[in-house]
Amino acid sequence: MQIALLIVLSIIPAVVLLWYFNKQDKGKPEPKKLKWKIFGWGVLAAVFALIIELNVEELYRYLGITQQRTFWLYIFLTAFITAAFVEEAMKLWVVKTRVFKNKHFDEVMDGITYTIIASMGFATFENIFYVVGGGFGIAIVRALISVPAHALFSGIMGYYIGKAKFATPGKSRNLIWKGFGLAILYHGLFNFFLFTQSALFLLVLPLMVIMGLHLKSKIKQAQFSDHVIKEKPEGLTFKRIAKVIIATILILTGTGSVIGSILLNQDPTSGYTGKDIIYAGIFAAALLAISYFLLRKKTKHSPPQNSP
């Protein structure tokens, strides 16, 4: 019974993300049968990737590259080659061989849609593999971090696959390589920060914020290319990224201060009182207000019609 529940919990994150990104595809609807097919190939790609990764790990051991002897080299290779390169290559293989030339792949946004579907099939298999062995704690962590990260890595790559579909052969290859390279970079950094088992893992949060902004920008660009939206979207700027990261840190700090003060108030030895909770709430409200002004987009006012 517990295993069945863990399997259900492993599947739910992918279902939620597929529903969300399906809503972003506002152009021509994709056939359900084809989407299920790509999801299934994503699951199969995860099996192939696991076999390849086990063999790569054996090669590392043969070369004397182990976590105990060469820690930093080992986690770098594991993060960028064993995981990022192999896994993103398998997702790219699924989209390129199973749907890229299909007549229903007729919009730039389809590159994002089908690549995310393949990535969610991949992530679902991977999630079941880890969650059944790790339990409910792992299920929660992976639902909030690992599964969404797979959608972000691959969704960004999918934009370039979508653009490649309608480009000349030479430019098409360059676009695919660019998307593949970005997916490996993001995926590799994500894994590297986690694999260090140090304070570097805190960098995963701003990295996910950056990836989220990047994918959101690419979705808007794809929608513009497909004539779903008429106004050309603004490009993603470092200023916008910095504002969102700072706002995220402020929100988490404020939330943490309130939760921390409530927990300390329950400990009679801490000396925390109800006033401290109120002060923490005021502090959190101030941080939320700052975050709001950081994230607020200025409204562009059009000039009066009778103006010169």
- How far is CA 141 from each of CA 4, 10, 203, 267, 272, rounded to the nearest angstrom? 18, 11, 16, 27, 30
pLDDT at 253: 87
Radius of gyration in angstroms for the set of CA atoms belonging to the chain, rounded to a whole number: 22
Integer Cα distance of 268 and 246 in angstroms: 34
Integer Cα distance of 229 and 224 in angstroms: 5
Cβ contacts of residue 197 below 8 Å, gap of 6+? none
- What pTM was computed for the model? 0.85
Integer Cα distance of 49 and 37 in angstroms: 18
**Within 13 Å of residue 307, how many CA atoms lie on the same side as its CB?**
5
Q: Do 178 and 160 meet the contact criterion of CB atoms below 8 Å apart?
A: yes
pLDDT at 307: 36
- Per-residue DSSP letter, 85: I
- Per-residue DSSP letter, 200: G
> What's the distance, CA 84 to chain centroid?
13
pLDDT at 63: 94
Within 10 Å of residue 278's Cβ, how many Cβ atoms?
Answer: 11
Query: Encoding tokens for residue 55?
Result: 């063999």
Cβ contacts of residue 243 below 8 Å, gap of 6+? 294, 295
- Per-residue DSSP letter, 55: H
pLDDT at 305: 44
pLDDT (tens, 9 = 90+) of the chain, 308 residues, equals: 678 888 888 899 999 999 999 999 998 989 999 999 999 999 999 999 999 999 999 999 999 999 889 999 999 999 999 999 999 999 999 999 999 999 999 999 999 999 999 999 999 999 998 888 888 888 888 888 999 999 999 999 999 999 999 999 899 999 999 999 999 999 999 999 999 988 888 889 889 989 999 999 999 999 999 999 988 887 778 887 888 888 888 888 888 888 888 888 887 777 777 788 888 889 989 988 998 888 776 655 444 444 33
Residue 19's SS3 state is: helix
228 class by beta-carbon count within 10 Å (0-12 exposed, 13-18 middle, 19+ buried)? middle
pLDDT at 116: 97
